[in-house]
Amino acid sequence: MGGNESVEVTAGIWGFLVLFGLALACWFLFRSMNAHLRKMTFQQREQVPENTRTAGARSEESPVPPEDDDPIGSARH
């Protein structure tokens, strides 16, 4: 069609800024997610001894079948 065919089209500074902003937002998101996951595992470790103490007290009072351990985790949290 004529014209100069050697012209290159690039994203320029705006493309870089958008990509950098997305990368920065992902970094903050992953950092927050990691902190929440650490908090959940810490709370779960604290609950395990409490559950074993209460299960021992319940077994002395009346025989109650133990709850099934769910290794995957369920929506009961």
CA torsion angle for 34, 35, 41, 46 (degrees, to 10)?
170
pLDDT of residue 3: 65
Per-residue pLDDT tens listing for the chain (77 residues): 566 677 788 889 999 999 999 999 999 999 999 999 888 877 777 777 666 666 655 555 555 555 656 556 655 55
Closest listed residue to residue 44, CA positions, set 63, 23, 71: 71
Inside any domain, residue 27: yes
Give how many domains the chain has, as a whole number: 1
pLDDT of residue 47: 76
Q: Which two tokens stand for residue 54?
A: 């209460």
Inside any domain, residue 39: yes
pLDDT of residue 49: 67
Residue span of the structural domain in which 29 resides:
22-46
Question: Is pTM, for the whole model, over 0.75?
Answer: no
Inside any domain, residue 53: no
